[in-house]
């Protein structure tokens, strides 16, 4: 499958197979911005790589998600090169369908998914009273998972703040999550007064499965 765009990422031509895969007729795709058909989490890196190519960089490959006409995400690897057609420049992308994200992209996908869900949950506080909702354990898990994927340490106090619950409530939730084997406590090797929190292997696996399932909705 292939897609031809101008230097502004507007589609000039697209083959029928790609249109079918996305659920669009060819005429409905010509003239559209490729980034409009790209998952929001993948747009920035797509734009940056395209800009680098236009500025004289080398052809590149990018794994990303297109959004089909029905809203479903379609994982692809695009191999993109730049060429001149008269006085104009065109980018040609050959499109390879894949089953899902490669390992190096999965971490980015999962971290963004966790951060997005947590941000949406926190947004409720701007419109509704805090006491209407109470799921501090899940907010704590989302934040801790995102911090783990980003390679950042989490501590009891910061995790309690992330949960949005009073400290005593958050500490009870942390103890419950430890008892259930979803998170673990480790002493901080540089400061024995502090306790680090981390996802356990089973806890991280369950959160990964949940986030991947949520991304497919």
What is the full DSSP assignment across 14-71?
Answer: E-HHHHHHHT--HHHHTTSBGGGGB-HHHHHHHHHHHHHHHTT---EEEEEEEE-TTS
Task: Judge if 2-97 and 103-216 fold alike in CATH terms.
Answer: no
Class of domain 2-97: alpha beta
What pTM, to 2 d.p., does this model score? 0.57
Q: Which of 157, 179, 154 is nearest to 167 (CA)?
A: 157
- At residue 101, does pLDDT exceed 70? no
Q: Please, which residues have CB within 8 angstroms of residue 32's CB and are 6 or more apart in sequence?
A: 10, 11
Q: What is the mean pLDDT of residues 184-192?
A: 83
58: pLDDT confidence band, cut at 50, 70 and 90? very high
Assign domain 103-216 one CATH number from 1.10.10.10, 2.60.120.560, 1.20.1250.30, 3.40.50.2020. 1.10.10.10
Nearest-angstrom CA–CA distance, 65 and 51 = 19
Nearest-angstrom CA–CA distance, 79 and 59 = 8
Q: Which of 74-78, 97-101, 185-189 has the lowest mean pLDDT?
A: 97-101
Q: Which of 70, 82, 79, 59 is nearest to 37 (CA)?
A: 70
Domain ranges of the chain: 2-97, 103-216
Nearest-angstrom CA–CA distance, 37 and 14 = 13
Which pLDDT value is given to residue 102? 64
Using CA atoms in the order 186, 190, 193, 199, what is the torsion angle rounded to 10 degrees? Answer: -20
Q: What tens digit of pLDDT does each residue of 103-129 get?
A: 667 787 888 889 888 888 888 877 887
Give pairs for 127-133: CB < 8 Å, separation 24+.
Answer: 130/164
Which pLDDT value is given to residue 106? 77
Which pLDDT value is given to residue 103? 64
């Amino acid at each position: 499958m292939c897609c031809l765009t101008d230097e502004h990422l507007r589609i000039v031509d697209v083959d029928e197979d790609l249109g079918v895969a996305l659920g669009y007729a060819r005429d409905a795709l010509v003239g559209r911005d490729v980034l409009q058909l790209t998952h929001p989490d993948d747009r920035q890196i797509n734009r940056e790589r395209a800009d680098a190519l236009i500025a004289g960089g080398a052809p590149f490959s990018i794994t990303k998600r297109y959004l089909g006409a029905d809203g479903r995400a379609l994982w692809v690897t695009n191999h993109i090169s730049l060429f001149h057609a008269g006085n104009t420049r065109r980018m040609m992308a050959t499109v390879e369908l894949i089953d899902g994200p490669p390992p190096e992209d999965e971490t980015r996908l999962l971290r963004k998914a966790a951060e997005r869900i947590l941000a949406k949950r926190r947004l409720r506080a701007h419109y509704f009273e805090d006491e209407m909702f109470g799921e501090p354990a899940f907010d704590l898990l989302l934040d801790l998972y995102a911090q783990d994927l980003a390679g950042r340490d989490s501590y009891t106090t910061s995790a309690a703040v992330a949960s949005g619950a009073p400290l005593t409530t958050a500490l009870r939730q942390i103890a419950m999550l430890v008892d259930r084997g979803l998170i673990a406590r480790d002493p901080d090797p540089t400061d024995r007064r502090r306790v680090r929190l981390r996802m356990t292997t089973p806890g991280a696996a369950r959160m990964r499965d949940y986030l991947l399932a949520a991304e497919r909705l």
